[in-house]
Structure 1
Amino acid sequence: MDFEELRPMLLGLAYRLLGSMWDAEDVVQDAWLRWEGADRSEVREPRAFLITVVSRLALDQLRSARVKREAYTGPWLPEPVTTGQAGPLDTAELRDTVSFATLHMMERLTPPERAVFVLREAFELPYDELAGIVGVSVVNARQLHRRAATRLASGRERFRPTAEEHGRLLKRFMEAASGGDLTALTEVLHEDVVFYSDGGGKVKAALRPIFGRRKTVAFIGGLLSRYGFEGLRIVEVNGHPAIWMPVGDHDQLLMIGVRDGIVHEIYAILNPDKLGRVRPAPAGDL
């Protein structure tokens, strides 16, 4: 099997493990070098071999990345990508594990938990293969998967909305915000909504998450009075529609997470380093 045939899948795997396509591309390039140098006569199954190589390289990188992310200015959010860059999305599990909300929640997992969860949920690897990749026993691999699933369960929608439902809710949110209708905005926000802003120290943004409906509405109201919500564009990001919008002299990508049919998380990416792979549709205001 040719490496290039597997590259989109391997990129999707590395991206899910790292939350950064820049880092995922480095990992896959390193995997290609190892593939070129491998004795092919000893590789019985190229796909399994390359999944193992990419997973182990990503695990090493994820461990070092955690230290950098702890020193990051403000909340660290994953790097968004347009849906076409996220690799195959042939199953609900592949689509769910690349959603921005899931990538963000996976930051609370340890590197081994994240690897086992992604490889089991999205790529359906058996536990004996997972154990070999992570370097644990089969029993421990099962425990890691169960622990990861439990830690993520509290933040995941049991009945996940379709892309269309997600889009309709996003549109309601933005119509309320752009129209300055704070009452309507309150109605689409969960009582426990959280607003995350990622400026990375390069663009002015909230340095801490904003918790709760009342504070979030007040924060958005302040943004409205200062900048307004104009020039909005739709872009599909990580399998869901998102909003590209100008904020002062900068651009911002706005995404939502859903729980109980309303907005539970708002993710605002302002760090220009994380916006290079996302561009709005050429025309058509929301």
Structure 2
Amino acid sequence: MTTEPADPATDAFVAHRNLLFTVAYEMLGSAADAEDVLQETWLRWVGVDLAQVRDRRAYLVRIATRQALNRLRSLQRRKEAYVGQWLPEPLLTAPDVAEDVELAESVSMAMMLVLETLSPTERAVFVLREAFDFGYEEIAAAVDKTPVAVRQIAHRARRHVDARRPRRAVSPGAASAAVRSFLRAVETGDPQALLDVLAPDVVLVGDGGGLKQAALRPIGGADKVTRFLLGGLGKNTLPLAFAPTLVNGSPALVVHLDGELDGVMAMRIEGARITGLYYVRNPEKLTHVLSEIPLTLR
């Protein structure tokens, strides 16, 4: 029996596929668009003369970054016409993502929203430098800038992100306890128990995309968030069910209404309290919460 010879281009792409997806997702905040970037990267990669490629990983990341930058600019135009608040597309992630503190922070909903405040080039440079530890020359080749310019962009982006970066999250055990307290308070409709687990300055952001009802603006403060949650849930006549899970490496709840997937509520937990709630109800963004998505920084 004979075996087909290995294809070096295919082998290299498969070996780095998870890395390429993570790069594209961190740049775009959309798993669907990240998958499209992978397809575009593959189509360009198969036409490359591998004999001229010194570092296949870096070359693949360069192609993916350029494709993601092109798509990011068109994605920004779509966001301008978006109904209500825009949240990243949530990804169901394995426990090992949560255990990798650096990875979990880089793909968390809170950090992804901070990255939204950067320009496309700043975001690409920050992601490649801070999350994936690429060198300035490698990044320069990916974003079509000089290494000197990339260093300046990286410094500016880092300063911008550091001023808005969420404080480091708590241990998995403490996070699980906060989720349990939150879930118990919501299921019992106990406002005081909910106030006890929410930070005073908690912010809730909802994303219905105009397809499902959601708060059109962020809701800030424990009192307002409590009233919104318990008031909104109390209006439902159909049965609600909540399943704790991990989304983007952080604690979350998958919400079912009358047995149907209704949304995903990701959480930011600091200390023993919840500081951020990110509720994605847009059905077009819920296709990647049914099976785990492998992510990696390496």
Q: Indicate whether the TM-score tops 0.5.
A: yes
- On the 8 A contact 1:157/1:260 being kept in 2, the answer is no
Task: Note the C-alpha offset of 1:239.
Answer: 1.2
> What residue number does 2:179 align with?
170
| 2:276 equivalent to 1:265 | yes
SS at match of 1:243: strand
Return the match for 2:90 from 59, 80, 85. 80
Question: Percent identical across equivalent pairs?
Answer: 39
Question: Normalising to structure 1: TM-score of the pair?
Answer: 0.89
Greater radius of gyration (CA): 2
- Partner Cα separation in structure 1 for residue 224 and residue 180 of structure 2: 21
Return the match for 2:140 from 131, 143, 153. 131
Question: Normalising to structure 2: TM-score of the pair?
Answer: 0.86
> What residue number does 1:237 align with?
247
- Alpha-carbon spacing, 1:135–1:18, altered in 2? closer, same or farther (3 Å): same
Runs (4+) off by over 4 Å: 86-91, 247-250
- Partner Cα separation in structure 1 for residue 261 and residue 14 of structure 2: 36
- On the 8 A contact 2:28/2:34 being kept in 1, the answer is yes
- Partner Cα separation in structure 1 for residue 97 and residue 219 of structure 2: 34
* One-letter amino acid of the counterpart of residue 127, structure 1: Y
SS at match of 1:160: coil
- Partner Cα separation in structure 2 for residue 271 and residue 87 of structure 1: 27
| 2:266 equivalent to 1:255 | yes
- Residues 173-226 of structure 1: CA distance to partner in whole angstroms, max 9, x if unpaired? 221222211112112222222111111111111111112222212111211321
- Alpha-carbon spacing, 1:19–1:246, altered in 2? closer, same or farther (3 Å): same
Aligned residues: 280
> What residue number does 2:290 align with?
279
- Partner Cα separation in structure 1 for residue 53 and residue 32 of structure 2: 28
User: Which stretch of the first structure deviates more once superposed, 87-96 or 219-228?
Assistant: 87-96
> What residue number does 2:158 align with?
149
> What residue number does 2:216 align with?
207
- On the 8 A contact 1:131/1:137 being kept in 2, the answer is yes
- On the 8 A contact 2:108/2:249 being kept in 1, the answer is yes
- On the 8 A contact 1:157/1:258 being kept in 2, the answer is no
Return the match for 1:43 from 48, 53, 62. 53
> What residue number does 2:126 align with?
117
- Partner Cα separation in structure 1 for residue 221 and residue 152 of structure 2: 33
Structure 1 gap ranges (5+): 282-286
Higher relative contact order (CA 8 A, sep 6+): 2
- Residues 218-257 of structure 1: CA distance to partner in whole angstroms, max 9, x if unpaired? 1112113212884211222111231111347761211111
Return the match for 2:101 from 87, 92, 109. 92
- Partner Cα separation in structure 1 for residue 60 and residue 267 of structure 2: 33
